[in-house]
Structure 1
Amino acid sequence: MLVRSDGCPVDPAGIGEFPRPPEEPFVLEEESAGHDWALWCRSRGILSCIVVPLLAGGRAVGSVGLASSARGTLRADDLRRLRLVSDLLGALRDYEGRLAGVQGLFDEINRALDRALAVDRAMRIPPTYRGLARAVGASLDATYCQIAVRDSADCLIIAGSGGRRPPRRRVAGASLPLAQLGRCAQAIRENRGVVVHYDHSDRLDEAERVAFLSPATRSVIILPFVAGARTQGVLLVGEERESRCPACGPERVAVLELVARRLGDILEMSRALERERLAVRRRERKFAIERQRLAREVHDEVGQSLTALLVRLRSLKAYEPAILEELQGLERMAQEAMNGARAVAYGIRQLGSQGDPLEEAHRFADTVLSAAHCRLSWLEERTDVRVPVRVAREIARVINESVTNIVRHARADAVRIHLAYPPGRIRVVIHDDGIGFSSDQATVAKDGRGLGLLGNTERLTRIGGIFDVCGSPEGGTSVLVEAPLALGMRLRA
């Protein structure tokens, strides 16, 4: 950088290139006529000049100086000031270099922790050793990385590799006793990172280099990790570039130790979550088996008993005409009880099902109504509208309850269920051709009648919807169910 004072006859545009930085401070004097800087100054009309080298790492990398077109204008104080400026510039250069190095380490650990080893991703998808090695290798500024795991036989085996050029395994799945891997054993024993540097022909027969590293590896950082009480291993970060070998300083080792600890934490967390998922699946299987057993018991024991009762009642009707009306009443009650038992058996089997609630309601209605010898007409206006799970679940339960009521009370021959999707809402109309419905039946009686209708009203109220039943003794019954698709909204009755 050139700074020109007012009135200076020297034109900075004509300065041209500077000579090489001097090894020692240079002062333009008569006896320095053959010096490179003296020749450069004379050719440009500079009569007074002081040049001080800018040092970095013990060698001159630049120069700083003062120049004048008048002789004798620079003094010894100017030389001291220039030495101070040179020292400050050198310190600034070193500081900027360290700052760039720290920024690089920060970027590297940020990529490793926030991208490759993100906790939320590990909670969603159980990671594998290979996947973790690839992700860590892609995030680190290194040639390759490998994950070696300690097995039950006290051996280390490579479980995953990643990076720009991961080493090719000479023997797939090969393992070596930890006792033969001195550096890895040291890292695990002392629980700290170990740095090893290699020359091209240095220690070619060393166990770690033969088993785990590439032949061109110039340095490797061995970092231990622990994943729970049963799993130990090391993360090997290898570097083949000569220019990157000095970067294996204590700061980078500390950063990579943090990455290795996060790797162990991710593995431990993932295994704990997987154990919990397995336990949940086992419990669900047990519940499913128990539901199926209960459904069989209800269907077989209760259903068979009611069927036998129906057969006996029908046989009595042929021999006892006097009590025909009473027997017909008993027959209807037994038939309703059997239909109800079938509905309960189906409901128990479907309990906990993970399918679409509305599809489950369709299957429930088809199964229960066919068992009661009642025709079902299910019409749904297909659209791309997505129904929230909570809304679909409550609507499905109301459909199930309404179908159960039809089987138990309506004595219907046909049922029509129509699903429509007006803007922002879902509407279900259920109509049967049974004996009808009066408003007196909507109240809750002491024997429990009417609780189902009250439950339906409460279900729809929770999701902001409406429930209505209307009918007459000669025209069947219609049920209207309507709810908003957006949770938090409420429809007006």
Structure 2
Amino acid sequence: MWERAKTLARRNPTAVDAAVAIACFLLTVSGHGAVEDPRPVVLLLAAISTLPLVWRQRAPFPVAVLCGAGTIGLIVAHGFIDWPYGQLVATYTVAAASPFAARAVLAGGTLTGVVFTQQVMDKPLGAVLTSGSVFVASFALGTGARARRDRISLLEERALRHAEERLRHAEERAAVAARERERIARDMHDILAHSISMIAVQAEAGPLLVHRDPDRAARAFDAISGTAHDALTQLRRTLGVLRGGPDDRAPQPGLESVPELAGRAREAGLTVTVTEHGTPAATPPEVAVAIYRVVQESLTNVIRHARATAVRVDLTWSAGSLRAEITDDGRGAAAAGDAPGHGLIGMRERVSACGGTFTAGPDPGGGFTVTATVPLTATEPRHSPGPVPGPPGTGPRDRAAREPADPAAREPAGTAAREPAGTAAREPAGTAAREPAGTAAREPAGTAGPTADPQRKRVVGSPADAARPAAGPPRDHTAAPPTDATDPPAAGPLAAGPLATGPLATGPLAAPEAPRGGVGGGGAAAGRGADRAEVARG
């Protein structure tokens, strides 16, 4: 019942105030004997001192002034009033709802009225103090109601703020989780797409070459093993984040691992040139990982879709930015039946996350170009060791400054035991070429030899590299497939790799003889078969 009355009062405040005003008017009139002997002056002054209470919540201070004037008029006309009901209610309202200035004026006016009453009416001090204490009590009740209302408002505001903070934190956590899922999805795509593509190419070649050319078959299986182990290592790094905290995240590959990508692409039959321009600068880890993944995904797309024989990777340092451009000589635009993938989307997201720009598209004369430009947060030059002596034409720098002198140290425990004698290093002079002992001696002199280049290029996996000591990081690399002096000219990626001789050279997977030409031109289906379905880039 009481709760229902409170609800009705909140819904109809004016009706409640009107009832309070009428009640105060009747109490005032009955207290002055105006009911038995009504006088117009007393009724008028009683109305002035009580009826304005109808608007007490809309204009509390003016209502208090009117009620005070009516109360003083009653005192003068009729005599001392013990209970000025209208003025008491008005005092409570001002104390509860008005600002500090209005409350101060009301307190001063009340004190003045009490003193005036004592002086004019010549009433005892006790009666005056009693009347004054009633006003003080009314004022105190209003102040308490005000404090209670302010406290409730403060608690509601604090609860609302806490709710908003919890909602914001929940949204932030959801956003972080979404970004982490996207990051893991990109890493999984990059790692698996690249590794599975390399494994598929070598797995198709190995069984067909087991009887005809065991050495080439061994190299193909060795490449499968190495690629699988690298993929497992990177997957452990990526998935380890799901169980550990932020500090448990293992280092991811960066710019120093780009030559290894070139070596793996060479094993798939491509000629890959890696060239650095400008002065290398200190590169933030996230930028290095983004550029590495862009190069990795671009090479994967070339091997899977482009029908290219050569790829050029240019890394250019300029004022405050690093630019990576990957260009191939493949067919360029995707075939009509190709379906879109996630590779280009993932690359664009990685570059955008670092504040960079990304473009990808076919070239007018054939081929495809991927360009990523990422700003650097650090501009200090990265230290590069000076040139070291080596065989003629092998280039001015080597990779040992960025990798262990013994590349076998980079392999998991026991990996070297799986390799033939002399292949524990797996890569000559830090490159990704995996050759059994003495393999370089089987290649005719000069067939895949290094090239002297004014931009400091060299051929990754060449015979000269096999004799090169491990000492200093390379600046530029060209990954070229090993060829045989008796092999026919290469017409596609696999024609220059393990499938250059043997059953595939003359079988259904042999490369077509049509020359290369513009978008969708030559080199088609070399080593994979022109009758096989194409998969879209990315």
TM-score for the superposition, normalised by structure 2: 0.28
Greater percentage in strand? 1
Larger radius of gyration: 2
TM-score, reference length from structure 1: 0.30
Higher relative contact order (CA 8 A, sep 6+): 2
